[in-house]
């Protein structure tokens, strides 16, 4: 029994109530207009793009990159190619960890039936829509030690990854990472423990982040 489970048992405190299993799709960011800068000799412009970092969409501005041209015995006038279109923002789907797993559990065999159904639904969409790669990110709340939370979140992310692979997705395109109590969705004051556990429920989650292209990559 873990530290958190021992504490709950010894004090008679309630463990988190199971949340209803569902997939929450995070709304994509609003359109970001980026003015194309004037041409630069020997340079090509790479448009900016949205990425997912620290639990939020982050805009990465466009940059100039040099055009690599093989040397020639005569003068060559290089016309910079038009900038490639910016990749669409990643799709972010959140699953409640309380709905996916029983308390203090984190293996693929522990995933609840409705959680399996939700993962199967996501996998079915990915099988029929081309994608670059998927990041599975596990999170806990801030209760318990950092080491415990990091380990539990990693095991849960790995379990969801394993189930996605079992559903027919290529393993080399899926990366799992446990982030412990980082990137909280909600902040809760220190009330009674039972109230705090319920308030922190949104922070206990697994995020499935789908990138259409292979950028950025872990």
Q: Where are the domains of the chain?
A: 3-28+89-211, 32-87
Q: DSSP E strands: which ranges in 1-109?
A: 23-25, 43-46, 49-53, 56-60, 63-66, 91-96
Give the integer Cα–Cα distance in Å for 12 and 187.
25
Distances 155 to 60, 138, 162 between C-alpha atoms, Å:
30, 8, 10
Give the integer Cα–Cα distance in Å for 185 and 205.
10
Q: What is the pLDDT of residue 212?
A: 87
- In this prediction, residues 85-98 reach a mean pLDDT of 90
Q: What is the pTM of this model?
A: 0.72
Chain segment 154-163, per-residue pLDDT in tens: 999 999 999 9
Least confident of 10-14, 129-133, 139-143, 202-206: 10-14
Q: What is the pLDDT of residue 74?
A: 61
Residues 54 and 209 sit within 8 Å (Cβ to Cβ): no
- Average pLDDT of the chain, as a whole number: 84
Q: What is the pLDDT of residue 169?
A: 97
CA 27 to chain centre: 14
Least confident of 21-35, 63-77, 97-111, 131-145: 63-77
Highest-pLDDT range among 5-9, 51-55, 197-201: 197-201
- In this prediction, residues 121-146 reach a mean pLDDT of 95
Q: What is the pLDDT of residue 190?
A: 79
CATH number of 3-28+89-211: 3.30.1330.60
Chain segment 173-218, per-residue pLDDT in tens: 999 999 999 999 999 987 788 899 999 999 999 999 999 876 554 4
Residues 206 and 78 sit within 8 Å (Cβ to Cβ): no
- Which one is predicted more confidently, 66 or 122? 122
Least confident of 50-54, 150-154, 185-189: 50-54
- In this prediction, residues 165-169 reach a mean pLDDT of 97
């Amino acid at each position: 029994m873990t530290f958190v489970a021992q504490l709950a048992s010894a004090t008679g405190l309630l463990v988190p109530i199971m949340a209803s299993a569902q997939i929450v799709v995070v709304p994509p960011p609003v359109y970001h207009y980026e003015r194309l800068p004037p041409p630069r000799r020997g340079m090509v412009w790479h448009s900016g793009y949205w990425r997912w970092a620290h639990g939020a969409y982050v805009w990465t501005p466009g940059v100039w990159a040099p055009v690599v041209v093989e040397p020639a015995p005569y003068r060559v006038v290089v016309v910079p190619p038009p900038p490639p279109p910016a990749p669409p923002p990643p799709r972010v789907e959140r699953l409640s960890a309380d709905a996916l797993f029983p308390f203090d559990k984190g293996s693929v065999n522990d995933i609840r039936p409705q959680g399996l159904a939700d993962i199967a639904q996501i996998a079915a969409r990915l099988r029929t829509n081309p994608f670059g790669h998927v990041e599975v990110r596990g999170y806990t709340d801030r209760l318990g030690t950092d080491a415990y939370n990091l380990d539990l979140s990693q095991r849960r992310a790995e379990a969801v990854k394993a189930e996605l692979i079992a559903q027919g997705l290529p393993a080399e395109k899926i990366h799992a990472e446990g982030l412990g109590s980082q990137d909280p969705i909600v902040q809760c004051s220190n009330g009674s423990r039972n109230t705090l556990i319920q308030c922190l429920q949104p922070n206990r989650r697994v995020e499935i982040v789908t990138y259409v292209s292979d950028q950025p990559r872990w």
